[in-house]
Structure 1
Amino acid sequence: MRIVITAVVLLLASLSPAMAQSGGDYRLRDETSRLAVAVLGRICLLNLGDINAVITAASPRGEFGFVEATPEVAKTLLQDRSGYVRVLRRPGFGAVTLMATHDGICSVFSEYADITAFQRHLTAMVERGGLKGGANLLTLDARDADGVRINDYYLMPTGWFAAQLGKRFGDDGTQPLALVTTISNPGRRPMEGVLTVSRPLKQR
């Protein structure tokens, strides 16, 4: 999983410099981080394993109002994988990009990000927000070879969320979900933050 995430983050460095903005105060990073976490929870996690539901939720008529990414951006992110890329821009926020692939990966890229904001909003989502009563969050901290901060989370489905996943995957739904975040220094990469969750569907 970490190899896949690192490769995707490195690919972002090749995108147009116009996507990279080194400015932005803490409030901008906090609000954009909060939006990215909300997208991860409401689109990736709640629809995990159902790419059609993910893309429906990430449509212009969905809760957030995503639009289709340009072919160049989509090709750069997807590489040889099959899937979809959607972009969300709101006044006062940095861009948030969602990539969902048919191999079970759902990633959210945040133009601006902050490590403490990511962790705070993820914890709030699990303890008081949309996943309340449906999961527990375990955290490990690390850095990759380039010194970029990585947080490995294990989301432990319980209750209603485990039941929902169980119906989708044909098991008891309690399998831990690897949730990886990477946060680079401001201005270092076009997208400062990446949040990724995956659980491949069983081959039938």
Structure 2
Amino acid sequence: MSETDRHGRPVPALVVRGVEVFPGLLDPAAQAALVAEIAAVMALAPPVQPETRFGRKMSVRMTSAGKYGWVSDRRGYRYETRHPSGVAWPPIPAPVLSLWHRVTGVDRAPDCCLVNLYREGARMGLHQDRDEADFGWPIVSVSLGDEARFRIGGLERGGPTDSLWLKSGDVLVMGGAARLVHHGIDRVRGGSSTLIEGGGRINLTLRVVD
């Protein structure tokens, strides 16, 4: 049981450049339950391999749940109300919503749960999450499966960075002054977990869009 503050919110074990880190917040049973929920999401809205607006394929496969899904193609980065196939995004699973409220302490529910599937060799370059209307709301990131090296920079591109290895069950909150820090995944340590069928890592990113 993690330590909580006077509002019942868990206390982060460490803070890196303003990013709150909750290592092992989800126990193995909770992790397995979340993976089952996300598998159901992916069955309805299969992950796709997006491309940048410059036509380069990303190494990560993506899908979403919620009111909106984040998409990327030659038209640019944006949120859409439907999967590229035309189907509506599935609803965000209840356990995911509960986790959001637990770690943020806010009543407002997220509009989007972006699901990133990292197979061995996939990575994500340093970037900011800035396609949302209001940066006052936090972003929650949940790691499931293989370990990944997460890099955190500053508000401006370039300059020094810090990195840490994220394990399955770890949760991050990027809010306040850290809402717009540059961040990315350098590499995934293949075979470090057996949680994901076929291997790899699933990252859930919860965002308020409107």
User: Same fold by TM-score, threshold 0.5 exceeded?
Assistant: no
Higher strand fraction: Structure 1 or Structure 2?
2
TM-score range, shorter chain: 0.3 to 0.5
